[in-house]
């Protein structure tokens, strides 16, 4: 039997069980997902003592997918949250993919004297390195939230940001929006009549203050195929 679970983001806390008598289930796990960020900065006073305004906008899209299914062991204590492990270590699902980013922040001086009294424009900014870049490893960790929910986060070590001169506001790569808890009942993990479980997670965070707006959206799909 195949089951799918879908829930919107809520905020929960989690604790991991340590009981030696925990029930156990094994799965082949794979994950894929997409995160998008869109941001704008309305014209406003800049931080420079020379005076002026700055503004800008941009967007980023991260797409990730499991390199291959990995065997995970889920242990569930009688009253605790599930713990996820690969070879007796906290589970991390290896993914790869690409990140596309485009953005700019523009400073417009007001022409007033600056520094030693000299005028003139500031030096030109470095050339942007925006575009699409691939990454070969982004570890994604399942995070239990109490007993019947799960979210994901970036594991360790996280890759370095591939951009140097391309601005982003919000949780830019390699960060993911967190937490995004999604319903996954513990009893379903232990139900051997369910051969395949597909967990769908969706989350959104919209922030707007002082002329700066950031909209972040994340959706992911975790596939669990039971190992008999």
Beta bridge partners of 24: 75
Domain boundaries, the chain: 2-226
pLDDT score recorded for residue 138: 98
Class of residue 180 by CB neighbours under 10 A (exposed 0-12, middle 13-18, buried 19+): buried
Q: What are the tens digits of pLDDT across the range 171-197? A: 999 999 988 899 999 999 999 999 999
**80 has pLDDT over 70:** yes
pLDDT score recorded for residue 13: 35
- What average pLDDT score do residues 33-39 get? 98
Q: What are the tens digits of pLDDT across the range 132-161? A: 999 999 999 999 988 899 999 999 999 999
Q: What are the tens digits of pLDDT across the range 60-76? A: 999 999 999 999 999 99
pLDDT score recorded for residue 88: 86
Q: What are the tens digits of pLDDT across the range 81-126? A: 899 999 989 999 999 999 999 999 887 776 666 655 555 555 677 8
> How far is 92 from 108, CA to CA, in rounded Å?
45
**53 has pLDDT over 70:** yes
DSSP string, 20-36: TT-EEEEEEEEEEEEEE
3 state DSSP class of 186: helix
pLDDT score recorded for residue 178: 84
């Amino acid at each position: 039997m195949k089951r799918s679970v879908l829930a919107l983001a809520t905020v929960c806390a989690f604790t991991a069980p340590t009981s030696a008598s925990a029930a156990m289930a094994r799965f082949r796990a794979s994950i894929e997902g997409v995160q998008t960020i869109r941001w704008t900065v309305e014209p406003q006073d800049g931080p420079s003592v020379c005076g002026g305004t700055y503004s800008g906008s941009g967007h980023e899209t991260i797409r990730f997918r499991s390199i291959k299914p990995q065997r995970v062991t889920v242990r569930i204590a009688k009253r605790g949250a599930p713990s996820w492990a690969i070879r007796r270590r906290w589970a991390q699902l290896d993914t790869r993919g690409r990140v596309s980013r485009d953005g700019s922040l523009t400073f417009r001086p007001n022409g007033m004297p600056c520094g030693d009294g000299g005028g003139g424009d500031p030096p030109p900014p470095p050339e942007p390195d925006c575009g699409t870049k691939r990454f070969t490893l982004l570890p994604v960790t399942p995070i239990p939230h109490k007993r019947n929910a799960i979210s994901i986060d970036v594991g360790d070590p996280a890759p370095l940001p591939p951009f140097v001169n391309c601005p982003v506001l919000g949780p830019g790569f390699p960060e993911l929006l967190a937490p995004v808890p999604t319903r996954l009942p513990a009893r379903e993990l232990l139900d051997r009549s369910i051969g395949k479980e597909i967990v769908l997670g969706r989350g959104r965070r919209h922030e707007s203050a002082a002329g700066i707006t950031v909209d972040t959206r994340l959706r992911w799909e975790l596939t669990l195929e039971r190992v008999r």
